[in-house]
């Protein structure tokens, strides 16, 4: 990777090609991204009542805070309005909705300090989404719901685009995770005991890139990009939205970013919905990616 493109006038095909080479994209807020963030803010502000959501962590016991997020996040994820606005964003940014599949938009929160960094508000260590059974053609979309600053942002670690990291992805299978891990998220308040693929060697976090946009600005990056949650020292909770897309022709053609160190099994492809009519990816296509859970030592052995 060597470039960050701001509001480029590229076709979606050309953009995906660049994303698979590790380039990062930043877009100014679009009408639908503004609206999606406004919708998120509305739900957040309803959930926290009279408290300012960005500062509520300073006056709420952590259990009460978790209880609010445990209701709020799924309500946003599964609300039909969230999907509609997501489809609007894809259209406004030039995606062909009949060939673009997306997974539901997630709402994330990153609290200031060590208040809550596990379970329902997991603070992501450096990782590639492709360690979590994402296909190599996965593209991540990330939007801040409120203004962000460098000390409550998302970080990219560009040197690792080409450099393999020894990691625990060989023990990760997406089906096993969805059966056991996700359901217990709300119970993981102090520490997170769910098994996540992590780097198994020291990571040099710097140099790193933190892209700061206004609320509703859009970051696009490949799921193979090494990224992490910046430890939040801003004094406020950060709320953001993210979702993923794949283009069906790239999935069928096994295109995408090169896999340099992922050994996970299974696939997230069954979660994706077609941009036009919310149909799933045909099962014969998914099966091409659905490898059974077993430790693959081939990749790990030469890292």
Binding site for Fe ion (CB under 5 A): 129
170 φψ region: left (φ > 0), alpha (ψ -120 to 50), beta (else): alpha
Tell me how far CA of residue 125 lies from CA of 13, 28, 76, in angstroms: 31, 27, 24
Q: How far is the CB of 268 from Fe ion (least distance, A)?
A: 12
d(CA 235, CA 251): 41
CB-nearer residue toward Fe ion: 56 or 230: 230
Q: How far is the CB of 124 from Fe ion (least distance, A)?
A: 6
CB-nearer residue toward Fe ion: 106 or 252: 106
Q: How far is the CB of 175 from Fe ion (least distance, A)?
A: 19
Q: Which residues of 143-172 are buried (b: 16+ CB within 10 A; e: fewer)?
A: bbbbebbeebbbbbbbebbeeebebbbbbb
Listed in order, strand segments (DSSP E) in 18-175 are 24-27, 100-102, 106-110, 139-144, 154-156
CB-nearer residue toward Fe ion: 15 or 227: 227
CB-nearer residue toward Fe ion: 56 or 241: 241
d(CA 115, CA 101): 35
Q: How far is the CB of 269 from Fe ion (least distance, A)?
A: 17
Lookup: tokens for 243: 């979702």
Q: How far is the CB of 122 from Fe ion (least distance, A)?
A: 10
d(CA 73, CA 131): 24
Q: How far is the CB of 211 from Fe ion (least distance, A)?
A: 14
Helix axes 80-92, 31-48, angle to 10 degrees: 150
Q: How far is the CB of 59 from Fe ion (least distance, A)?
A: 30
CB-nearer residue toward Fe ion: 132 or 289: 132
Which contiguous run of DSSP H or E holds residue 243?
strand 238-247
- The torsion of the CA quartet 51, 62, 213, 258, rounded to 10 degrees, works out to -160
Q: How far is the CB of 125 from Fe ion (least distance, A)?
A: 10
Which residue sits closest to Fe ion, CB atoms considered?
Answer: 129
CB-nearer residue toward Fe ion: 34 or 73: 73
CB-nearer residue toward Fe ion: 129 or 250: 129
CB-nearer residue toward Fe ion: 47 or 230: 230
93 φψ region: left (φ > 0), alpha (ψ -120 to 50), beta (else): alpha
């Amino acid at each position: 990777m060597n470039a960050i493109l701001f509001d480029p006038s590229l076709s979606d095909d050309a953009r995906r090609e660049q994303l698979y080479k590790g380039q990062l994209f930043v877009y100014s807020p679009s009408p639908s991204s503004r609206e999606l963030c406004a919708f998120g803010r509305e739900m957040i502000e309803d959930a926290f009542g009279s408290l300012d959501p960005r500062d509520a962590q300073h006056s709420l016991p952590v259990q009460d805070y978790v209880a609010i997020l445990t209701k709020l996040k799924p309500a946003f994820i599964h609300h039909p309005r969230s999907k509609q606005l997501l489809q609007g964003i894809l259209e406004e940014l030039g995606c062909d909705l009949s060939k673009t599949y997306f997974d539901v938009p997630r709402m994330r929160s990153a609290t200031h300090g060590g208040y809550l960094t596990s379970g329902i508000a997991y603070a992501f260590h450096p990782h590639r989404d492709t360690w979590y059974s994402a296909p190599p053609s996965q593209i991540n979309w990330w939007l801040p719901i409120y203004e962000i600053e460098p000390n409550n942002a998302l970080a990219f670690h560009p040197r690792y685009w080409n450099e393999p990291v020894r990691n625990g992805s060989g023990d990760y299978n997406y089906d096993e995770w969805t059966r056991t891990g996700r359901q217990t998220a709300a119970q993981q308040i102090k520490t997170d005991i769910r098994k996540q693929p992590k780097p198994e060697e020291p990571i040099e976090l710097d140099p790193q890139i933190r892209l700061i946009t206004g609320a509703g600005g859009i970051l696009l990056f490949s799921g193979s990009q090494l990224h992490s949650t910046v430890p939040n020292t801003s004094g406020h909770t950060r709320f953001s939205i993210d979702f993923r897309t794949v283009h069906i022709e790239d999935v069928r053609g096994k295109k995408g970013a090169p896999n340099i160190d992922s050994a996970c099994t299974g696939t997230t492809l069954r979660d994706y919905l077609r941009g036009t009519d919310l149909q799933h990816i045909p099962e014969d296509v998914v099966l091409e990616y659905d490898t059974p859970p077993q430790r693959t030592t081939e990749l790990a052995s030469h890292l």
